[in-house]
Amino acid sequence: MAIAKTEIVGTLTAVPTGTWFPPPPTPTLAPGAILFFTPAPDQQVYKDPQGWYSVYFPLDMKPADQPNLFSKEGDSFETGYLPELGYMSNVLNVCAWLANLELEPAQSAVEWGFMMSSTFESEPRCSVSSKGSLGEDIRYEIFEIPAADPEHRFVYLKKSWSSFSSANERIPIIQFAWQKPIMPRQEYTLPALSAEEISQWEKTAPLLQGASLTEYTLPPGSDPSQHHLLLKELPEEALPEWFRNRSNLPLSTKMPTVEDQLKPLGYELIQTDSGWKRLFRDGKPLFEEVIRVSEVYTFSTDSGPIHTFVVNTGGTGGNYENSFLIQNDAIYTWEYNGQDPQLAPILYQNETLWPKAAQAGGQVQIQKSNQEVVFAFAVYTEPIYAVSRFKDWNGHWVLAARDFLIQDGEFINEKLGFEEIFSWGLIAEKPVFLFRKGPRIGLSYDGKILPLEYQDVARYKCCGFSVNNPAIDSNSIHFFAKRNGVWYYVVVKFK
């Protein structure tokens, strides 16, 4: 396996921009796609000026003052493109953006269950449903035109029905159809960094100086999504610390059992002959039919330590019928959910915060111990897999949810103007993460940013391929990145 090494050190320089897109491929129609729909007598047609799609809607809906908006008696629909999101990695990120930044996350849900269907790859689409400020039902449907330029890649159809019409089932029928076959997705050619683009980046944050970047060109056909042994082919100097030292890792310190963690606090967990466990407090029975007790989490505060843990008790069929949270001997009712992210709680402003899946589904929530919800994020995958980090840092709480970064309830994507943010971590207690801004990937470290010559980064790989996800070391970040159809292994070191 031949791997070429290139080292890039110093500041960025502007070079002429390249070509944006290749010639269009041969059009093909996605399976199940509706083409050239015949309108009914009581329908009128909106035709996209770009010639890609049509919308069929009731004859009595009239144009509003806003372009491409039609309404009648509080019901409306709107259509168009989402040019500002045209470089998103996938259509599901677009729906997540709308659900969490355009709409109210606590009222929104992303429909993602069809992701595994055979038509998803050939006709990428998703939808968002929500409630508006007046109680109206809002629904976005997003369609991707894979080979279109960024300004016309994502089509939206926004429907808003008044609470009256929803209750009386007189919702108008709105139908979407393609005017021409959908072209398969093509790789766009990344333009080289221009002086104008560097100037735009500098308006977001200071440019990072002094970092060194080394890239290793992988042979043709190498793909982090399909080859899980790529790290073994790289030179020793390129490997992340966890991989380089995997055969010499120190033995992990044996964690005390839950029983041992409970004893100093006056609790005792005893196995019974019936198969259940019983939880005692100072020798008195507290819970019967205990199925599970979580790890005991301990936090230090000015007013003394906080000890907190969760108790799940059984019911019919041995299921987790009841859950309770115990915090410094106070007992709270606690809703069990098997989709809860498997992440520890944190201490924030002297209160414990927990990442949990909403009982109704479709959201990850940050809750206090009394189950007060302080933040909600509408997810497009199972909640247990939607969050990669939940951490307290420098007086803040930080949630990394797929390609979104939230700090103290504020979306950093929106604050900085980055469509996607991922692989958040700390180096020397300073935050580092990768992000997308327009056509290229960038890197942020300690509040400074570095534009990179890549279109995408491999991430969220599962199982054996998870070794190809970005890795953060004591002074560097390692990742697989793609530029103009070629994969590279990239190492960025910080001084």
Q: Are 70 and 46 in contact (CB under 8 A)?
A: yes
H helices within 280-423, ranges in order? 383-386, 412-416
Residue 369 placed within a domain: no
Task: Report pLDDT for 15.
Answer: 39
Could you give the CA distance from residue 28 to residue 431 in angstroms, rounded to a whole number? 45
Phi, psi of 190 (to 5 degrees): -75, 125
Predicted TM-score of the model (pTM) = 0.90
Burial class (CB in 10 A: 0-12, 13-18, 19+), 39: middle
pLDDT of the residue at 14: 41
Q: Is 64 domain-assigned?
A: yes
pLDDT at 134: 78
Smallest CA-to-CA distance from 47 within 183, 182, 180, 179 is with 179
Nearest to 129 by CA among 118, 113, 116, 144: 113
| DSSP notation for 403-432 | TEEEETTEEHHHHHT-SEEEEEEEETTEEE
Q: Please tell me the distance from the alpha carbon of residue 240 to that of residue 476, in angstroms, as a whole number.
A: 8
Residue 153 belongs to domain spanning: 43-178
- Residue 346 forms part of a structural domain: no
pLDDT of residue 19: 35
Radius of gyration over every alpha carbon of the chain, rounded to an integer in angstroms: 26
The whole-angstrom separation of Cα 471 and Cα 432 is 11
Residue 403 inside a domain? The answer is no
Which DSSP letter does residue 258 get? H
Q: CA angle, 80 as apex, 78 and 86 as ends, to 5°?
A: 135
In the structure encoding, which two tokens stand for residue 73, read together? 């008696």
Nearest alpha-carbon partner for 449 in 189, 211, 194, 196: 211
What pLDDT, on a 0 to 100 scale, did the predictor assign at position 21? 38
Helix (H) or strand (E) holding 39: none
Distances 310 to 260, 262, 322, 389, 397 between C-alpha atoms, Å:
15, 12, 11, 20, 21
Report yes or no on 455 lying in a domain.
Answer: no
Q: How many residues does the chain have?
A: 495
User: Any bridge partners for residue 326, and if so which?
Assistant: 309, 331
* Contact (Cβ atoms closer than 8 angstroms) between residue 439 and residue 197: no
Choose among 22, 18, 21: nearest CA to 197. 18
pLDDT given for residue 2 in this prediction: 62
Closest among 152, 154, 213 to 434, alpha carbons compared: 213
pLDDT of residue 30: 53
**Residue labelled with tokens 């070429």:** 4
Contact 188, 439 (CB under 8 A): yes
Q: How many domains does the chain have?
A: 1
**89 Cβ contact list (under 8 Å, min separation 6):** 403, 420, 436, 456
CA 33, 39, 42 angle in degrees (round to 5)?
140
- Residue 24's pLDDT is 46
Query: Is 494 contained in some domain?
Result: no
Of 157, 146, 149, which Cα lies nearest the Cα of 124? 146
**Euclidean distance between CA atoms 56 and 135, whole angstroms:** 26
Q: Mean pLDDT of successive 10-residue segments in the chain (495 residues)?
A: 66 39 47 65 93 93 93 92 95 96 93 60 82 87 90 95 63 86 77 88 93 94 91 92 76 84 96 88 93 95 95 68 91 90 95 93 92 94 92 96 97 97 97 96 96 95 92 96 94 94
Residue 247: its pLDDT value, please? 67
Q: Tell me how far apart the alpha carbons of residues 313 and 484 are, in angstroms, rounded to a whole number.
A: 55
Q: Is residue 36 part of a domain?
A: no
Distance CA 234, CA 3 (A): 7
Residue 416's alpha-carbon distances to 145, 210, 358, 419, 420, in angstroms, are: 27, 22, 28, 9, 10
Closest CA to 208 of 448, 494, 418: 448
- Within-domain flag for 273: no
